[in-house]
Structure 1
Amino acid sequence: MGKHLKILFLFFILNSCLIFSQENLFSTTLKRGPAIHFVNSASQPNLVSPNAITISWWTDDGSDSIVEYGKTTSYEIGKFPGLSKSSFSFTLEQGVGVQHWVSLTNLQPHTKYYYRIKSNGKNLAPQEEEKGNYYFITPKDQNTTSFTFIALGDTADGNPNQEKICETIDRYHKDAEFILILGDVVYEKSTDPEYGEKYYPLNYYGRLIRHKPVIPTLGNHEERDGTPDQQVYRTHHFLPTNGAKTDERTFYFTYGNGAFFCLDSNLRKEPIYNPSGLHYEWLKKNLNKEDKTWKFVFFHHPMFGVGTEKTRYCEDETCSQVPCAGQKICDNNVEWRKELIPLFIQNKVNLILTGHDHNYQRTYKVNTYNDESATPFRDEENGIIHIVSGSGGKYLRNIWMSPLPDWSASRNGEIHSFSKIIVKKDVLEFYQYDKNNIILDSFTLDLKTNRRTKKQK
């Protein structure tokens, strides 16, 4: 009897080990994401659909995944199978990962939905599901006249400042409906492993992108990924293809009563931005046809700045002296300004958002003279406010040209920060928050009076 019991016991142990090994051998693990993305309307490619959303995620193998979703954590509406898109190597996991995505349709506008991701019947993130952390709110209807968004640039460097910025946005600014990243999304070369290390973790953008769409523009570091047409960047961001070409370098989308135009400032020296150029013609056509109340243009390199980057005015053309002095253009942005500033003003662009210089800067309403340097001057009647919001995580620059020009309204290079824009019909409220959620700068634009008002902190 004792011998038989020993045999049964050994059989039980071996069988348990085999089952455990099989479960681990065939177990799928969630490696990155999930991330929420806008879906543009099929009939109107510029319109963000209020009835659809895309969810993407990465696993460590090619096993089938599904998304279950609903208005409650019972996920009562149904489930959709995920599609596999592509694979890249991971740095942290030292393996090959597969990207999946699914587009959920027939959703109600501005409605909260919960979701979870499963593979082989297993919930891939049970702890996050229990906390109710996997949810999104669909975009508002196209007729809405109020919305809120965040803008910041030069962000994912994998440091405590980036972590604090993401925490503050997540904790105090849940009302923001989407996030614009103003270039240099991931440092140093925008490689896939860097996305895995510095973008997707939950202490970084992972805590935001599971709820909110992120819409970036190409920065100079995206140009360094070593792949044709920024393949890595395009894989991680589901962007509109309604630009001058379908390469996602330029595009635009409308949200409520706002129109957002993305440009690739890496190409600012190319003839495509001349009046007969492809990108110029695309921009002119679409700026002109859009009748939205608010028009925003965003790209990476500032047209005007008083910081240490080469978009500033310098004493000489070599830009060798810091801080700068004098009023001489020291870069090749002159032609870009000459061509685009009149186009922006003619088509009533309200705000220009940029990054690149690792600090915060704001101009008064500014225009340019028709001279060889496209020299800026303050023009409260017809000019446009330019924002540099490049202090989203990378090291800061706090050196300014001297003397400061009269068109420079505000600047800060001492603490990391981000921009928040609130649109309420004909009024825009702008706030620059530091990483501790303290307001550094603020103003309002009132279209009825064409007035800019400094807000009290």
Structure 2
Amino acid sequence: MIMIRTIFSLVIWMFTLTIVAQSYEKNLAPKTLDVNYKASPRPDRIILTWSKNDLSTQTVTWRTDTTVTDIEAEIAKVTPDVDFYKNETDYDATSTTFTAIDETVQYHTTTFKNLEPDTYYAYRLKADDYSSEWVQFKTAPKTTDKPFSFIYLGDAQNDLFSLWSRVIRLAYKRAPDAKFMLHAGDMINHSQNNYEWGEWFEAGSFIFKEMPQLTIPGNHEYIKNDEGHKTGITPIYNPQFNFPKNGLAEIGHTNYYMDYLNMRLISLNSNQDLDLQKTWLEDVLKNNTKKWVVVMTHHPVRSPAKGRFNKGVIENWKPLFEKYKVDLVLQGHDHTYGRGNKVNLGYDEKNDYSGTMYVVSVSGRKMYELGNEPWMEAKAENQQSYQIITIDDSILTYKAYTTDDTLFDGFTLTKRKNKDNKVKEIK
């Protein structure tokens, strides 16, 4: 067994302030539990991500309690032979120990490298005398012109196990070969509530182990004081989600970009330092060589919910989306559904059309009242949904489904030389 290299994150000092500033009770588990989500020596909360902008790698992160002293990750190329795992390669792990409210835990992460394209691999995680199952995943294709799909989900946030679980599982059943899944923030309601994070992981279950997940923090991933002001991102977030460190160190690399075949995905943290991210964003857009650009951010540029308006996002980022002709912006926060590419936002702008398509969606239980905004070509309230997006060379196809698995909204974007994308509604 390979000994853990533990990086001790001494964050207990900040939690003296946190517990006072943020309701202690809101971050504790319910008094009556059906499931105990506390850490144990057995690996849990297993999730695939990319910690590098490199499709020949795959990162896996998992949790244990602090009694574990020996861990390793094993990976093997899948073959028809039942004994394929005997040709495994062992990997070391980097571990982080921290305390959040009422529990001290360890998160471990390792990155598998030099993986062959379009190939099935299986991995297993071992901690002392405990092992996970062998989990199988498939690497990205080698050629950039091969069609691929991915899943986009708006805020989960509430009733995660009881109601949100059906949404993520429906999405997986409709697109089991999707290459990754996007979460536009507010995965939970209270940033340090271990029980809520436990429900989120139970709802995602084996999906998180097999399909890479890409997230951004919403406002509910942040700690708040008594006045409701954000004091910092939950210390659970970065150890739990490992993404490329090509964003800003000043905000803990919670913004990043990831290239997948002929698409660049840019993830922005709309909770803080929007002006700093503006410079970074322009550089990432200016140096892009991919055919498609998709942005994911929590707070919407275009708000479908009644009475909402995000001035900072509009002033700092929207001009760059238009300047560099970002194709699609995926958002959350408003707990309604809205989609369109009209520019009119009531903020000294002309009533014309933009080349950028904006979407706001919600996958969880919490709902807000829908506003009557002129930019929306499609809209809905009190409706959970999931979205499947497919890129096939010069055509992007977007489809939104409700929880009875009915197609609710859809469109295609077609690339045109020196022109805005051609938009065609799917009826």
With normalisation by structure 1, the TM-score equals 0.75
The yes-or-no answer on 1:357 pairing with 2:334 is: yes
Equivalent residues, number: 373
The yes-or-no answer on 1:111 pairing with 2:119 is: yes
How far is 1:305 from its partner? 2.2
Identify if the C-alpha distance between structure 1 residues 75 and 429 changes in structure 2 by more than 3 Å, giving closer, same or farther. Answer: same
1:383-418 alpha-carbon deviations (Å, 9 max, x no partner): 3211001x2113223x3334x52x211112232111
Within 2, Cα distance between the matches of 1:96 and 1:342?
44
Q: Contact (CA 8 Å) 1:223, 1:230: kept in 2 or not?
A: yes
What residue in structure 2 maps to residue 169 of structure 1?
171
Report SS of the residue matched to 1:283: helix
Superposition pairs of residues 149-228 of structure 1, within 5 angstroms:
149-157=150-158, 158-187=160-189, 189-191=190-192, 193-194=194-195, 196-201=197-202, 204-224=203-223, 228=232
Equivalent residue in structure 2 for 1:30, among 42, 45, 49: 42
Q: Contact (CA 8 Å) 1:51, 1:108: kept in 2 or not?
A: yes
Superposition pairs of residues 317-332 of structure 1, within 5 angstroms:
none
How far is 1:241 from its partner? 1.8
Which range is displaced more, 72-81 or 287-296?
72-81
How far is 1:368 from its partner? 5.0
How far is 1:194 from its partner? 3.9
Can you give the 5+ residue segments of structure 2 that lack an aligned partner in the other structure?
1-39, 226-230
Read off the aligned partner of 2:400 and give its amino acid letter.
Q
How far is 1:206 from its partner? 2.5
Within 2, Cα distance between the matches of 1:224 and 1:151?
25
How far is 1:296 from its partner? 1.1
What residue in structure 2 maps to residue 377 of structure 1?
351
1:299-353 alpha-carbon deviations (Å, 9 max, x no partner): 1111112323523xxxxxxxxxxxxxxxxxxxxx335424433321221100111
Q: Contact (CA 8 Å) 2:370, 2:381: kept in 1 or not?
A: no
Within 2, Cα distance between the matches of 1:440 and 1:136?
30
What residue in structure 2 maps to residue 387 of structure 1?
359
Superposition pairs of residues 238-277 of structure 1, within 5 angstroms:
238-245=242-249, 247-267=252-272, 272-273=274-275
How far is 1:229 from its partner? 4.7
Q: Contact (CA 8 Å) 2:268, 2:295: kept in 1 or not?
A: yes
How far is 1:225 from its partner? 6.8
Within 2, Cα distance between the matches of 1:418 and 1:336?
24
1:66-104 alpha-carbon deviations (Å, 9 max, x no partner): 22322145314323244241234589xx86432222221
- Bigger CA radius of gyration: 1
- In proportion to residue count, which structure has more strand? 2
User: Identity rate of aligned residues, in percent?
Assistant: 24
With normalisation by structure 2, the TM-score equals 0.79
How far is 1:172 from its partner? 2.5
